[in-house]
């Protein structure tokens, strides 16, 4: 007989070590997959994880990808910590992008230092408003926020599709599904010539610091923590549960909106159909890999960003589809959840127990 028991002694260091174990297991799992596909696993993993960041351009690309991932994951950590399951960050990102992009298009032939801040702010507000839909439906109509936030992703995607094909499409764009290029004043400043890394990284870093402050040093953070651990206790302590649900969704949506606006004013420079390679969904993995801890999330976003780059390199050098990146992301989450299970529970082998007397 096998018996599964809850562990009651849980050390903090192990709690932060299991993500590293999960990454290690992912490497082994990935190696096996490459081996089955007929590659030398060591070589293949080198292409996947080392080659992409072996030069300055690669490192810059890593940060370009990690910037939105980290930002979204930080926002999601507010929701997840308080037991609100916002799965729709991708939709909030896109909607933030739409609103920010719309404002950028308004200013397409203007110049001025004030343009970029307005765009960034409107993108954050866009994402925030979009995230409030599931929050309000949850608090006042008892809907399931997982379903609502997820379905709204498709609403946002289709809306973007409609806009770039229809009313917002570039009048001189030969009917390509894309808008005009934004003006220089509507673009994130590039940090180094020749590299794509942009000022959005500062927004991310400031957000990380602010969220650390909110989560660990404020009454709001305390309320979020208690509600996440026990809703009954939160009610007993007299926390305003509904207001808090709406606040965490607003924070999370604003972060996703910022990420969206960072993408379109940063590397992309216009609106088109694919402004995000599923950053909103991948950020869920980042949030959990980083243990919902602001510093943890920084490291997690770098690692997961690497899987995006690795997939592109592998596509070029090994001719495997770039979706291998998603396989790796999936494996990370799988191994993380697996090792978490062993972290919280222990399995006891009891041997066969005799029932007869």
Partner 1 sequence: MNTQLKVSKISKIYPGCIANDKVSLEFESGKIYALLGENGAGKSTLVKILSGVVKPDEGKVFLNNESIKLNSPLDAKKNNIGMVFQHFNLFETLSVFENLSIDSDKKDEDLRVLVNDILKKYNFKIDLDIPVLNLSAGQKQKVEIIRCLIRNPKVLIMDEPTSVLTEQETDDLFISLKQFSKDGILIIYITHKLKEVLSLCDEVAVMRKGKVVSVSNTIDEKIESLANKMVGENLNTIKKKINNFKNSEEILKISNLNFKSDDPYETNLNNLNLSLKKGECLGIAGISGNGQNELFQILSGEIITEGTSIMFRNKEIGKLNPRERREYLMAFSPEDRISQAAVPELKIYENVALNNFKSSNFFEKGLVNEKKIKEHSKKILSNFSVNTDNVELKSQFLSGGNLQKLIIGRELITSPELLVCFNPTWGLDVGAINYIHETLIQINEQGKSSILISTDNDELLKLSDRICVIYKGKLSKIMNADTVTAEKLGILMGGGSID
Identify which of residues 154 and 216 has a Cβ nearer to partner 1 in the complex: 216
Q: Residues 90, 95, 100, 104: what is their CA dihedral angle, to the nearest 10 degrees?
A: 110
Shortest Å distance, C-beta 103 to partner 1: 31
Position among 154, 176, 209, 236 found at the interface with partner 1 (CB under 8 A): 236
Residues 171-200 that bind partner 1 (CB under 8 A): none
Burial 120-145 (b: 16+ CB within 10 A, else e): bbbbbbbbbbbbbbbbbbbbeeeeeb
What is the CB-side half-sphere exposure of residue 18 using CA atoms within 13 A?
20
Shortest Å distance, C-beta 1 to partner 1: 11
Residues 6+ apart with CB under 8 A from 170: 176, 178, 179, 180, 270
Identify which of residues 84 and 92 has a Cβ nearer to partner 1 in the complex: 84
Position among 32, 151, 237, 316 found at the interface with partner 1 (CB under 8 A): 237
Identify which of residues 107 and 239 has a Cβ nearer to partner 1 in the complex: 239
Strand ranges, E, within 246-337? none
Report d(CA 180, CA 60) in Å as an integer. 26
Q: Do the Cβ atoms of 83 and 76 come closer than 8 Å?
A: no
Shortest Å distance, C-beta 287 to partner 1: 19
* Beta-bridge partner residues of 6: 345
Q: Binding pattern to partner 1, positions 204-233, x when CB under 8 A?
A: ------------xxxxxxx--xx--xx-xx
Identify which of residues 219 and 349 has a Cβ nearer to partner 1 in the complex: 219
Q: Which tokens in the block code for residue 107?
A: 């200013």
DSSP 83: T
Identify which of residues 12 and 171 has a Cβ nearer to partner 1 in the complex: 12
Shortest Å distance, C-beta 232 to partner 1: 4
Q: Which tokens in the block code for residue 127?
A: 């994402």
Shortest Å distance, C-beta 228 to partner 1: 10
Q: Do the Cβ atoms of 313 and 51 come closer than 8 Å?
A: yes
The answer to whether 235 contacts partner 1 (rule: CB under 8 A) is: yes
Shortest Å distance, C-beta 289 to partner 1: 21
The answer to whether 357 contacts partner 1 (rule: CB under 8 A) is: yes
The burial class, CB within 10 Å (0-12 / 13-18 / 19+), for 108 is middle
Interface stretch with partner 1, choices 13-21, 201-209, 236-244, 276-284 (CB under 8 A)? 236-244
The answer to whether 347 contacts partner 1 (rule: CB under 8 A) is: no
Identify which of residues 194 and 238 has a Cβ nearer to partner 1 in the complex: 238
Residues 3-62 that bind partner 1 (CB under 8 A): 8
Identify which of residues 222 and 334 has a Cβ nearer to partner 1 in the complex: 222
Q: Do the Cβ atoms of 292 and 80 come closer than 8 Å?
A: yes
Q: How far is CA 187 from the centre of its chain?
A: 22
The answer to whether 118 contacts partner 1 (rule: CB under 8 A) is: no
Identify which of residues 38 and 238 has a Cβ nearer to partner 1 in the complex: 238
Identify which of residues 56 and 229 has a Cβ nearer to partner 1 in the complex: 229
Shortest Å distance, C-beta 302 to partner 1: 28
Shortest Å distance, C-beta 215 to partner 1: 11
**What's the angle, vertex CA 347, arms to CA 27 and CA 22, rounded to 5?**
15
Q: Do the Cβ atoms of 309 and 303 come closer than 8 Å?
A: no
* N-term to C-term CA, the chain: 18
Interface stretch with partner 1, choices 25-33, 111-119, 238-246, 304-312 (CB under 8 A)? 238-246
**What's the angle, vertex CA 271, arms to CA 101 and CA 330, rounded to 5?**
110
Report d(CA 139, CA 242) in Å as an integer. 6
Identify which of residues 218 and 274 has a Cβ nearer to partner 1 in the complex: 218
Shortest Å distance, C-beta 10 to partner 1: 9
Q: Which residues bind partner 1 (CB under 8 A)?
A: 8, 216-222, 225-226, 229-230, 232-233, 235-240, 357
């Amino acid at each position: 007989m096998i018996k599964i028991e809850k562990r009651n002694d849980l050390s903090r260091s192990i709690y932060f070590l299991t993500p590293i174990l999960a990454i290690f297991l992912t490497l082994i799992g990935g190696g096996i997959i490459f081996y089955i596909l007929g590659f030398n696993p060591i070589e293949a993993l080198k292409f996947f994880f080392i080659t992409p960041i072996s030069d300055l351009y690669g490192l810059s690309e890593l940060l370009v990808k990690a910037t939105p991932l980290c930002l979204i994951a930080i926002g999601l950590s507010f929701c997840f910590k308080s037991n609100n399951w916002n799965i729709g960050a991708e939709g909030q990102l896109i909607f933030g992008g739409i609103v920010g992009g719309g404002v950028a298009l308004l200013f397409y032939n203007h110049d001025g230092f004030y343009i970029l801040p307005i765009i960034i702010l409107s993108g954050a507000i866009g994402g925030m408003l979009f995230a409030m839909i599931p929050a309000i439906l949850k608090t006042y109509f008892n809907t399931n926020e997982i379903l609502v936030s997820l379905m709204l992703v498709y609403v946002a995607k289709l809306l973007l599709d409609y806009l770039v094909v229809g009313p917002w499409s570039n009048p001189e764009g030969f009917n390509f599904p894309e808008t005009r290029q934004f003006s220089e004043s509507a673009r994130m400043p590039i940090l180094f010539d020749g590299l794509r890394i942009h000022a959005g990284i500062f927004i991310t870093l400031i957000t990380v610091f602010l969220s650390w402050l909110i989560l660990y040093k404020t009454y709001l953070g305390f309320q979020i923590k208690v509600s996440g651990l026990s809703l009954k206790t939160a009610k007993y302590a007299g926390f305003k549960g509904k207001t808090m649900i709406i606040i965490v969704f607003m924070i999370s949506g604003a972060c996703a909106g910022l990420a969206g606006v960072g993408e379109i004013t940063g590397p992309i420079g216009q609106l088109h159909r694919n402004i995000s390679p599923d950053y909103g969904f991948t950020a869920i993995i980042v949030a959990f890999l980083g243990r919902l801890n602001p510093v943890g999330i920084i490291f997690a976003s770098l690692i997961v960003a690497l899987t995006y780059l690795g997939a592109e390199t592998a596509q070029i050098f090994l001719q495997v589809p770039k979706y291998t990146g998603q396989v790796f992301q999936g494996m990370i989450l799988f191994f993380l959840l697996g090792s978490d299970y062993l972290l919280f529970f222990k399995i006891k082998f009891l041997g066969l127990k005799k029932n007869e007397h």
